[in-house]
């Protein structure tokens, strides 16, 4: 009987140690919580808002300037410069469906039909009516010329 009680006590102590070892990883690590969040003051919020408005205004002015320059090069029949300035205008985040259309036509004229179709489809998506006619002409394998540009 004494032997059985000793075995039982040993078994209980052994099981208790195993359960503690298993549960050791269930508890979260004890780490100090350091909150570094500091809310912005009213002045900081106003400065950020003003900076955002200024950046938007600059982007819009850049778009208009690049679009105007691209249009001038298009009138001079300098397609390479037109493409460069049109892409710069589109990189500002603003767009114009006529710019998409003319960019698509210029890519088609320079032999890059896939890229030209991409921009013509964008112009069509934005509601430019001439883009549908140009895409149809490309599909029919008609030769596009400088007369397809819209000024």
| pLDDT of residue 11 exceeding 80 | no
* All residues at 6 or more sequence positions from 81 whose CB lies less than 8 Å from its CB, including other chains: 70, 73
Q: Which is more confidently placed, 94 or 25?
A: 94
Domains of the chain: 57-151 (1.25.40.10)
Q: Is the pTM of this model over 0.85?
A: no
Q: State the alpha helices, DSSP H only, in the chain.
A: 2-23, 42-75, 79-90, 97-109, 113-125, 129-139
Q: What is the pLDDT of residue 80?
A: 92
Predicted local distance difference test score (pLDDT) of residue 144: 80
């Amino acid at each position: 009987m004494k032997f059985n009680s000793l075995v039982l006590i040993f078994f209980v102590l052994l099981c208790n140690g195993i359960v503690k070892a298993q549960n050791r990883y269930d508890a979260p690590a004890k780490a100090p919580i350091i909150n570094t969040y500091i809310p912005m003051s009213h002045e900081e919020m106003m400065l950020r808002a003003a900076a955002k408005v200024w950046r938007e205004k600059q982007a819009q002015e850049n778009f208009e300037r690049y679009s105007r320059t691209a249009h001038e090069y298009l009138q001079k029949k300098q397609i390479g410069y037109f493409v460069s300035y049109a892409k710069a205008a589109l990189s500002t985040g603003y767009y114009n469906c006529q710019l998409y259309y003319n960019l698509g036509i210029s890519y088609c004229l320079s032999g890059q039909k896939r890229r030209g179709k991409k921009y013509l489809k964008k112009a069509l998506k934005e509601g430019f009516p001439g883009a549908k006619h140009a895409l149809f002409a490309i599909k029919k394998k008609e030769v596009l010329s400088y007369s397809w540009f819209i000024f």
